[in-house]
Amino acid sequence: MKTIAYINKQIPTAVVAAENGEIFELEGYGAVGMSGDKLTILTKTDTCDMPHGSELMMLPHRRPIVFNVSTDQFEVMEFNPYDPKEKIYPVGVFNSPGYVNRHVCAYDDAGIKNPLPLFSYGAVGFGKKNFRSAALLVDKEPRQDLRQMPRERVVLGVNRIKKKYPDNRLMRHLERCALEYGCPAGKNFFLGRYEAPLPTSKVCNANCMGCISLQTENNLCACQDRINFTPSSREIAQVSLEHISRVKKAVVSFGQGCEGEPLTAVKAIAPAIEMIRKQTDCGTINLNTNASLPDHVKILCNAGLDSMRVSMNSVRGNCYHAYFRPKSYDFSDVLASIKIAKEKGKFVSINYLNCPGFTDSVKEVDALVRYIRTLDINMIQWRNLNFDPKKYIHLMTEAEDGGSPTGMAALIQSLGKEFPNLVHGYFNPPKESHAG
């Protein structure tokens, strides 16, 4: 008969927060993950040490769900069992880039209307010595490893660029991104690493529930302001050529968190790409987009774009519309854009905003397999959705019930078998690694 001690060794301990935000273990209680309505006891095998750079989050006003090892029961808890006067709250983990949530943290939000702030809330517990995340690694690249981005070096880079390009407004904007918002892509430009951001568009033709650059509903606030000007093609080309000239296998990307939809700025972007390609064949010119405007995608592909990453929460139209809330386009336009980019030989990724319980649901998985096969997608970039998981699952189930969760790890594994050439990761790869 497995003893409590043995079970305890296999099950990370539940972690909760006190009113003041102090996080502590709940001895005798196991950590629990949630995928839709399905609760899962976390184990040592399906968790990993909490990745460096991850952040623990207290979920305000909610009640944690834990596993009582002695009674073998899941329990919703409002007060600390060791101090019944003390209210306790759930704790989730915002895992660092490259780690996919297997489950979100388990909590009860009955009676609460307002959604949680725009973060992802992975399931977490405490192991022998460390916090343990219910997550799996899909991209090892240290592109956004904060340990490699010391502020003093960023500041040196900003000063060097300011001297060299005193009139470039886009570089001034990126200085704010790097120094004020702490944006890793902005920092990488000034550090001369990996991928540089090229924000260009003030507006967007979608209205995503979890948009991080513009929020007008609920109690939610955007993480950063949208760029309030359209950089000139010359300013865009200058940023790109500066980065490409300094960085081996450089990537420069349109479509950042501090802007709307880049396809709406095609008039500035297309000439910029031509200017870059007139000067060099080096570097990868990438477009992060909602792919809403097929004609504009064609123009950019003809101008010299190398790759396109399409953001979507679902490959089923009704679920896509429920989250993206397109203002002036339709999911079929997104599919048409992907077809055009593939016909023109571009490397196409989907920026898959994933939420356990929905993304690994039976219907979503079936649709995803059909989708990859039909459109011959090159890569899935797995992004933990930064939105209240319970509100999201409710919204998606209203759009179309996807059925039971099949497991995020099982999903990625089965895709690996079914599509051996399909790349799984987190970051936009340089064209040198785009398979022929």
Q: By the criterion CB under 6 A, which residues form the site for ligand SF4? A: 204, 206-208, 211, 213-214, 260-261, 290
CA-to-CA distance for 268 and 261, rounded, in angstroms?
Answer: 13
Q: Which of 287, 280, 288, 273 is nearest to 247 (CA)?
A: 280
Q: At its nearest, how many Å lie between ligand SF4 and the CB of residue 284?
A: 21
Closer residue to ligand SF4 in complex, CB, 275/297:
297
Three-state secondary structure call for residue 90: strand
Per-residue b or e along 11-24, where b marks 16 or more CB atoms closer than 10 Å to that residue's CB = bbbbbbbeeeeebb
Q: At its nearest, how many Å lie between ligand SF4 and the CB of residue 182?
A: 19
First-residue to last-residue Cα distance in the chain: 55
Closer residue to ligand SF4 in complex, CB, 133/213:
213
Q: At its nearest, how many Å lie between ligand SF4 and the CB of residue 357?
A: 21
Q: At its nearest, how many Å lie between ligand SF4 and the CB of residue 20?
A: 34
Could you tell me if residue 222 is left (phi over 0), alpha (psi between -120 and 50 degrees) or otherwise beta? Answer: beta
Q: Please give the radius of gyration of the chain, using alpha carbons only, rounded to the nearest integer.
A: 22
| Beta-sheet pairing, 55-58 with 32-35 | unpaired
Q: At its nearest, how many Å lie between ligand SF4 and the CB of residue 333?
A: 13
9 in Cβ contact with 125 (< 8 Å): no
Q: At its nearest, how many Å lie between ligand SF4 and the CB of residue 278?
A: 30
Which tokens in the block code for residue 298?
A: 């064609």
Closer residue to ligand SF4 in complex, CB, 207/404:
207
Three-state secondary structure call for residue 290: coil
Output the CA torsion 70→76→80→85 (10° steps): -130
365 in Cβ contact with 190 (< 8 Å): no
Closer residue to ligand SF4 in complex, CB, 38/202:
202
Q: At its nearest, how many Å lie between ligand SF4 and the CB of residue 207?
A: 5
Amino acid at 69: V
Closer residue to ligand SF4 in complex, CB, 189/320:
320
Closer residue to ligand SF4 in complex, CB, 118/237:
118
Count helices and strands (H / E) in the chain: 12, 23
Closer residue to ligand SF4 in complex, CB, 188/311:
311
Q: At its nearest, how many Å lie between ligand SF4 and the CB of residue 260?
A: 5
Closer residue to ligand SF4 in complex, CB, 40/201:
201
Quote the DSSP letter at residue 426.
Answer: S
Closer residue to ligand SF4 in complex, CB, 73/216:
216
Q: At its nearest, how many Å lie between ligand SF4 and the CB of residue 210?
A: 7
Per-residue b or e along 148-179, where b marks 16 or more CB atoms closer than 10 Å to that residue's CB = ebeeeebeebbeebeeebeebebbebbbebbb
105 in Cβ contact with 93 (< 8 Å): yes
Q: At its nearest, how many Å lie between ligand SF4 and the CB of residue 211?
A: 3
Closer residue to ligand SF4 in complex, CB, 259/360:
259
CA-to-CA distance for 13 and 124, rounded, in angstroms?
Answer: 9
